[in-house]
Amino acid sequence: MIRLLCLLGVLGIGWGITREEVVYRTTPQGELKMTVFYPDGWKPTDVRPGIVLFFGGGFVNGSTRQFYSKAGYLASRGIVAASAEYRVKSQHKTSKEDALVDCQAAFAWLQAHAREQGIDPAKLSAGGGSAGGSCALSLLETGAKPASMVLFNPAGLAQAEPVAGMPPTILFFGSADKMYPEAQAYWRKAQAKRLPVQLFVAKGQPHGFFNDRGDGTWHASTTYLADGFLRSQGFLQGKPTIAMPQGSKGALFAEGALQPSPAGPQRPIPDGIESHLNVEYAPGLLLDVFVPKSKPAKPPPLIVWIHGGAWQNGSKENAPSLQLVPKGFAAASIRYRLSQVAPMPAQIDDCRTAIRFLRKNASKYGYDGTKIGVWGSSAGGHLVALLGTIGEGEDKVQAVVDWFGPTALRRMSMYASRMDHDSPEAPEARLIGGPVQQNAELAEKVNPISYVTKDDPPFLIQHGDADPLVTLEQSELLRDALKKAGVPVEMTIFHGAGHGGPAFQTAENLAKIAAFFQRVLR
């Protein structure tokens, strides 16, 4: 058989990848073939992971070429990847059932010929798009056991049932796909049964959004996540290598992340504190205010807590700022729009709106509206740092305590982290609406360092030097920029501390934070 060199440079595929067409089945309508993509350096004696992909088209039409881009890319990463044809109505005058039988035969052929194809049969996965996704799912009904499944808006989920023992599975859907509600229901059933099914969503995208067309934005984003999924199964090594287009807006959301985190239960308010809960500061947006019951001779400064949660989770309840009320402060805690609801600048716009509301209503609640400090952790740390550097007029704050907030988003992947910050599903991508490396201008627009001036308020920055998510360097960059501009800044580095934890919550550290606010705001 002749192996043809895959000259698919536009796909980022290596020159050493080869492909061949092999006949896997003979039917009354003729031979059925699959195109197999072999990695650079492939040998028949290899024992590599493999995957077979099935095209979509409603079982009426379609072509194996639909998955050449994805198969070629996966081959560039070391997987033997095949795109298999099957009989379709327009060409062969056959039924859906015939197509399913063909797909099952394709998978069985690869298993039977694994040794000559350089594939480990125990690491043979299946996938496909739309009708092709149904083909892959049908394997489970025959007792076949794919090592994993990669499914792009598979059809027929309304009739499918997640079954015990099913392999790890990743699903991709556009939220504008009429079949998306079926995918949601399928995912919820899988979650209830604790089955390894992931669902990723492209907001506003239609059926077939994952295909390689236009500038390749959604092809690249879905392939990037498919790579990460296969890597999590031990089938790939290293970071994805697919190039995502500059300016890509291909952010993907895990289905679970699209559900706003519910408000947490508010712990009992200590005696001596008057609470005003769930005050609406903008349509649908709430905050809490806490002031001393015994009115001091002079209205106290206000400390506003802004919660973390990767800009996609978290709630205003049980704010640490409440602990400062007995120390001579008033406190507030706000809820802002999360990234699954709207990307930046929605989050900082909400924070600024909240500050203006709190300043306007200072006399109503009994605190000094000219002395407002802000305090936040992680994503909240990022937002309070932004408040400190871009606030002006009625939303300008007078002091900032930043707990381990991100700053320079495009540098986050330069240091060891448990998270791939460059991924289209990273919290940072969801925040700005696309992968950070492909959206330099947007990433800089949300970087507090971009706005530092000598007029910024004093900062207290605290960070653990063992933070596995937001590296210490992020806070050091902000500290250095503030110092250079002549802004008063203090920094506490907790040795051995991670992303939050007990070191931040000690009585000694809370006293340090209170002393900072007292010194700056009194």
Q: Which residues touch 49 (CB under 8 Å, ≥6 apart)?
A: 78, 79, 80, 119, 120, 123, 124, 125, 147, 230, 235, 236
Question: Which tens digit of pLDDT belongs to each residue from 69-97?
Answer: 999 999 999 999 999 999 999 999 999 99
Q: What is the pLDDT of residue 8?
A: 41
Q: Which two tokens stand for residue 25?
A: 């089945």
At the topology level, CATH places domain 273-408+447-521 in Rossmann fold (3.40.50)
- For the chain, residues classed under CATH 3.40.50.1820 are 17-135, 273-408+447-521
Question: Which tens digit of pLDDT belongs to each residue from 431-452?
Answer: 999 999 999 999 999 999 999 9
Return the H-helix or E-strand segment holding 216: none
Q: Taking the complete model, does pTM exceed 0.85, yes or no?
A: yes
SS3 275: strand
d(CA 254, CA 467): 24
* Residue in 383, 390, 381 with CA at minimum distance from that of residue 460: 381
Q: Which two tokens stand for residue 90?
A: 């327009």
Question: Which tens digit of pLDDT belongs to each residue from 177-211?
Answer: 999 999 999 999 999 999 999 999 999 999 999 99
d(CA 112, CA 105): 10
Per DSSP, the residues of 174-195 read: ETTSTTHHHHHHHHHHHHHTT-
Per DSSP, the residues of 420-479 read: -TTSTTSHHHHHHTS-GGG-HHHHHHT-GGGG--TTSPPEEEEEETT-SSS-HHHHHHHH
Q: What is the pLDDT of residue 11?
A: 42
d(CA 372, CA 359): 8
Do the Cβ atoms of 86 and 32 come closer than 8 Å?
yes
Q: Which two tokens stand for residue 327?
A: 């120390």
Q: What is the pLDDT of residue 15?
A: 52
User: What is the sign of the dihedral through the CA atoms of 293, 296, 302 and 307?
Assistant: negative
Taking every pair of C-alpha atoms in the chain, what is the biggest distance, in angstroms? 94
Say how many C-beta atoms besides its own lie within 10 A of residue 235's C-beta. 23
Average pLDDT over residues 5-15: 41
Q: What is the pLDDT of residue 334?
A: 97
d(CA 249, CA 173): 16
Q: What is the pLDDT of residue 257?
A: 83
Q: Using omega within 30 degrees of 0 as the cis cutoff, is the peptide bond preceding 502 cis?
A: no
Q: What is the dihedral of CA 96, 98, 104, 110, to 10 degrees?
A: -120
Question: Which tens digit of pLDDT belongs to each residue from 356-373?
Answer: 999 999 999 999 999 999
- Superfamily classification of domain 17-135: Alpha/Beta hydrolase fold, catalytic domain (3.40.50.1820)
Q: Which residues touch 367 (CB under 8 Å, ≥6 apart)?
A: 291, 299, 300, 301, 302, 330
Q: Which two tokens stand for residue 208?
A: 């077939």
Do the Cβ atoms of 429 and 251 come closer than 8 Å?
yes
Question: Which tens digit of pLDDT belongs to each residue from 484-517?
Answer: 999 999 999 999 999 999 999 999 999 999 999 9
